[in-house]
Amino acid sequence: MKFCRHPFEYFRVKNTDGDIQACAWTNDKAIIGNLLRQDLPEIWNSEAASRFRKSVTDGSFTYCNKDACPYLQRNELSEAKDKAVITPTEIPAFIQIACDETCNLCCPSCRREVFIPTKQQKANMEILHQKLLPYYKYAKHINFGGLGEVFVSPFYMKILENFNHENPDTIISFETNGILFDKDHWNKISHLGNYDLRVNVSIDSLYKPTYDYLRRGVDKCSGNFEKVKGNLKFMSDLRKNGEIKLLSICMVVQDNNFLEIPDYIKYGIYDIGVDRVVLRPIWQRGSFTEAEMFVKNVRNPAHPYHVEFLRVLENPLVKHPQVMMWSGDRMINRKDIMVVGARVDLLKQLFNLGIRSRSLSKYLKERSITKICIYGADIVGQVIADGLSNDGIIIGFMIDRSVRSYKDYKLLRLEDVKGFTDVDAVLITSVLSFDSIKDDVMCKHSIDEQKLLNLESIIKELADTTI
Ligand code: SF4
Ligand code: SF4
């Protein structure tokens, strides 16, 4: 039977509330204890920890998030050969401290708002650190960060600056966005070079326009891209000198950057000399709506660019042994596959026209349409609403029979609409039933037929003019 060793040696401080996981890729039910209320041994030997361990020894993997776990995704779990491996270490061998989300970036894939810890959260972090302090020396691997930036977190920096562990074989690892990994910051933690130091730089693109779009600075400061590129060279030298023992770069693969994957790999392996290039899937961390997630996630077989994505994966560079494809190429979480058939075609046409290159909004503006009603609030309507409102078209309201809310847009059923005088046009996105919707609207309301726009016809018109 397949088996995973993680729950038998891993202790992760998930948040400032003190929740503890025995693996980062588990679902919310897999909290094994709380370090603010309990001590480490009590949590480690708790019933909840045993329950979680049992779920991997009985093969059910009940608490595992199968879409996030690289071992499950890539079918890499091995068999449990003897009893020793299914016994937990006395004290966690791997401690991950991931409770401080402080960061100098505000990437859309990660958060909607800047995280600033409250006084209470800072106090909690200190308590958590003090409670872990006696156990660091038993750990073989200590990891910092994960959901924050170590160099801007006073909490992480204090631990790293004062790190003094007897065993030089201890693995110290952290993830950084690289903006502050310069000589000055390195000087503060250079003693970590005496250990098995592993650094993962999360950088979603090595192409400035994409980087600036995906990695937004908290202070809107420009120049981050140039800093990261310079710092990557600095880190590369540290790797060559042996102070960093393992250097990797990591891209969260999404609609905006997947075409850059081969160049990204080439630059990482051949120009910078990293040990590993990690291609990570984009996850729903709560910062995206379903529609935004759909647009981002090219791994979804229903995504209009999925075929192109698979084509990119055929590039020999992607098969390079130093590339870690975190999760294979396809979704296994079928419930995320949301649209089929005609809707995919329509989305593909929209994407190809470049909803972000403003063709649809330009079309409307040229006809003096600046405020619109969108009929149909499924994935297509949502993608269009986001695209148009980004381009300055006002979404007066949306109409849908079953979707009750989407972001802050006003959503109504047709029966509840008072009239259309307030908007310049109604864009009907439900192409298959345009005529029946048109009849329905005109039967219930007095509206000029010219005000009813058929999305499919507009797309055709735009495609013809583009050609
Ligand atoms: S999510 Fe993956 S790594 Fe974590 S316990 Fe389950 S199988 Fe192991
Ligand atoms: S750099 Fe990392 S931690 Fe910071 S906002 Fe971006 S994804 Fe989140």
Q: How confident is the model at residue 85 (pLDDT cuts 50, 70, 90)?
A: low
Q: What is the largest CA-CA distance in the chain?
A: 81
Quick check: 286 pLDDT over 80?
no
Ligand 1 site, residue 6, Cβ cutoff 6 A: yes
Ligand 2 site, residue 177, Cβ cutoff 6 A: yes
Q: How high is the pLDDT of residue 357?
A: 47
Q: How high is the pLDDT of residue 353?
A: 63
In this structure, the residue with its CA closest to atom 6 of ligand 1 is 64
Q: How high is the pLDDT of residue 93?
A: 95
Quick check: 336 pLDDT over 70?
no
Quick check: 333 pLDDT over 60?
no
- Ligand 2 centre to CA of 106 (Å) is 6
Work out the average pLDDT over 273-286: 89
Q: How high is the pLDDT of residue 166?
A: 83
- Ligand 1 centre to CA of 284 (Å) is 18
Quick check: 182 pLDDT over 90?
yes
Tens digit of each residue's pLDDT (9 = 90 or more) over 399-413: 987 788 888 899 998
Ligand 2 site, residue 107, Cβ cutoff 6 A: yes
Q: How high is the pLDDT of residue 218?
A: 62
Q: What count of other Cβ atoms lies within 10 Å of the Cβ of residue 50?
A: 13
Question: Closest ligand 1 atom to the C-alpha of 70?
Answer: 2
Q: How high is the pLDDT of residue 407?
A: 86
Distance separating alpha carbons of residues 352 and 462, to the nearest angstrom: 11
- Ligand 1 centre to CA of 67 (Å) is 11
Distance separating alpha carbons of residues 287 and 383, to the nearest angstrom: 16
Q: How confident is the model at residue 23 (pLDDT cuts 50, 70, 90)?
A: very high
In this structure, the residue with its CA closest to atom 6 of ligand 2 is 107
Q: Which residues of 318-329 are buried (b: 16+ CB within 10 A; e: fewer)?
A: bebeebbbbbeb
Quick check: 139 pLDDT over 70?
yes
- Among all chains, which residue has been given the structure tokens 């999305």? 455
DSSP 328-370: BSS---GGG----HHHHHHHHHHHHHTGGGTHHHHHHHHTT--
Of 196, 70, 201, 71, the residue nearest 145 (C-alpha): 201
In this structure, the residue with its CA closest to atom 8 of ligand 2 is 110
Q: What count of other Cβ atoms lies within 10 Å of the Cβ of residue 149?
A: 24
Question: Closest ligand 2 atom to the C-alpha of 106?
Answer: 5
Ligand 2 site, residue 202, Cβ cutoff 6 A: yes
Ligand 1 site, residue 72, Cβ cutoff 6 A: yes
Ligand 1 site, residue 376, Cβ cutoff 6 A: no
Quick check: 416 pLDDT over 80?
yes
Q: Encoding tokens for residue 156?
A: 């992480």
Q: Output the pTM of the full model.
A: 0.78
In this structure, the residue with its CA closest to atom 7 of ligand 1 is 4
Q: How high is the pLDDT of residue 174?
A: 97
Which has more confidence, 458 or 185? 185
Q: Best mutation site among 15, 105, 220, 249 for ligand 2, i.e. most ligand atoms within 8 A of its Cβ?
A: 105
Ligand 2 site, residue 106, Cβ cutoff 6 A: yes
Q: Give whichever of 53-67, 250-264, 317-331, 382-396 has the largest mean pLDDT.
A: 250-264
Q: Which residues of 360-379 are buried (b: 16+ CB within 10 A; e: fewer)?
A: bbebbeeeebeebbbbbbbb
Q: How high is the pLDDT of residue 275?
A: 97
Distance separating alpha carbons of residues 45 and 86, to the nearest angstrom: 14
Question: Closest ligand 2 atom to the C-alpha of 109?
Answer: 7
Of 117, 120, 125, the residue nearest 13 (C-alpha): 125
Distance separating alpha carbons of residues 206 and 355, to the nearest angstrom: 24
Q: What is the DSSP letter of 268?
A: I
User: Mean pLDDT score of the chain, rounded to an integer?
Assistant: 87
Q: Best mutation site among 3, 4, 28 for ligand 1, i.e. most ligand atoms within 8 A of its Cβ?
A: 4
- Rg over alpha carbons for the chain, rounded to the nearest Å, is 25
Ligand nearest to the CA of 147: 2
| Chain mean position to CA 191 | 32
Tens digit of each residue's pLDDT (9 = 90 or more) over 425-447: 999 987 567 887 888 888 888 88
DSSP 412-441: E-GGG---STTSSEEEE--GGGHHHHHHHH
What is the chain's length?
Answer: 467
Which has more confidence, 175 or 145? 175
Q: How confident is the model at residue 341 (pLDDT cuts 50, 70, 90)?
A: low
Quick check: 343 pLDDT over 90?
no
Tens digit of each residue's pLDDT (9 = 90 or more) over 289-305: 777 788 888 888 777 78
- Ligand 2 centre to CA of 204 (Å) is 10
In this structure, the residue with its CA closest to atom 7 of ligand 2 is 110
Are the beta carbons of 317 and 270 closer than 8 angstroms? no
Distance separating alpha carbons of residues 133 and 97, to the nearest angstrom: 12
Quick check: 98 pLDDT over 80?
yes
Three-state DSSP class for residue 95: strand
Which has more confidence, 326 or 160? 160
| Chain mean position to CA 112 | 12
In this structure, the residue with its CA closest to atom 1 of ligand 1 is 64
Q: How confident is the model at residue 354 (pLDDT cuts 50, 70, 90)?
A: low
Q: How high is the pLDDT of residue 434?
A: 80
Q: What is the DSSP letter of 173?
A: E
In this structure, the residue with its CA closest to atom 4 of ligand 1 is 23
Quick check: 58 pLDDT over 90?
no
Q: Best mutation site among 114, 151, 177 for ligand 2, i.e. most ligand atoms within 8 A of its Cβ?
A: 177
Task: Please state which of the ranges 5-9, 284-288, 313-317 shows the lowest mean pLDDT.
Answer: 284-288
Q: How high is the pLDDT of residue 356?
A: 47
Work out the average pLDDT over 117-125: 95
Work out the average pLDDT over 210-229: 80
Burial of residue 3, with CB atoms counted within 10 A of its CB: 0-12 exposed, 13-18 middle, 19 or more buried: middle
Q: How high is the pLDDT of residue 458?
A: 86
Q: How high is the pLDDT of residue 237?
A: 97
Task: Please state which of the ranges 68-72, 153-157, 243-247 shows the lowest mean pLDDT.
Answer: 68-72
- Among all chains, which residue has been given the structure tokens 């330009």? 362
- Ligand 1 centre to CA of 71 (Å) is 7
In this structure, the residue with its CA closest to atom 2 of ligand 1 is 69
Are the beta carbons of 232 and 122 closer than 8 angstroms? no
Are the beta carbons of 274 and 247 closer than 8 angstroms? yes
Q: How high is the pLDDT of residue 219?
A: 59
